[in-house]
Amino acid sequence: MRNNAKKIILHIPHSSIKIPLKDGFIVNEEILENEILILTDWYTNDLFHAENQHRVITDFSRIFCDVERFSDDGEEIMAQFGMGALYEKTDSGEPLRIVSTELRERIIKEYYEPHHQKLTIAVEEQLYLFGDALILDCHSFPDIPLNRSLCKSPNRPDFNIGTDKFHTPDKLIETCFNFFKNTGYTIGIDVPYTGSIVPMKYYQKNKNIQSIMLEVNRKLYLKEDSNEPSDTYEQTRGVVQDFIGLISEWRIQSSPQYNFPKGIRPIY
């Protein structure tokens, strides 16, 4: 049965620590575990938990396959550092994995593309039912810039909103900015990270697909230099939950009028 409630789509790409296959990796377990420690968006699957929304969660580590990168290295800025869709170098620039043509094709076909298909289907369901869709791209980031971070500024905010000029309305940016301003947290707009995911099928083509990214500074919920929840974990989770509620309400209030297909009506 089709679930025809109006939902936002929570895209959670970097919370998993699973490496489905070790083919190509040339580092020992200690080095691999360290990369997982520093690069995983720890607990974002819990911080962004929302029963009444649609969640698309990547079930493998970004170190294995990063679904937020372009699959074509020629289009991906991080590929110059060996950290395109398939990471070949560590954050410190040391060799991590040798990716043959065959291995790349297999991982893209069996892991990368199915994930993006799930996201596209989630978007298309909302488009079919309501004429629009809203994606919240869910991330966290370290307080101290990683070696391969494009933004090296040490003065990082508590939260970061990432936007897309085509898919992120100014009113939505303003709403998000005011939310964090009123809670007393510092907020960066496209600092230190920019952009927000949209299925390539609709990227820069359909303004009814809106997208915004939220990045949570890990200092707000993790103990320093670890993946252990800190004493402020629940407080931070509460802020993120309130933000999800805000985004959901914003979509309901701002959605365009839509003539639903015969027999289809939204349920709130």
Residue type at position 204: Q
Q: What is the pLDDT of residues 15-74, one digit of tens each?
A: 999 999 999 999 999 999 999 999 999 999 999 999 889 999 999 999 999 999 999 999
* End-to-end Cα, the chain, rounded Å: 16
Nearest to 14 by CA among 149, 141, 111: 141
* Helix 170-183 with 233-254: angle, nearest 10 deg: 150
Which carries the bigger pLDDT value, residue 175 or residue 260?
175
Can you give the residue ranges of every domain in the chain?
Answer: 13-254
Tokens representing residue 156 in the block:
């990082």
Query: For residue 221, which of 41, 17, 9 has the smallest C-alpha distance?
Result: 41
The distance of Cα 65 from the centroid of its chain, to the nearest Å, equals 14
Contacts of 30 (CB under 8 A, 6+ apart): none
The CATH code that applies to domain 13-254 is 3.40.630.40
Tens-place pLDDT, residues 121-156: 999 999 999 999 999 999 999 999 999 998 888 899
Longest C-alpha distance within the chain, in Å? 58
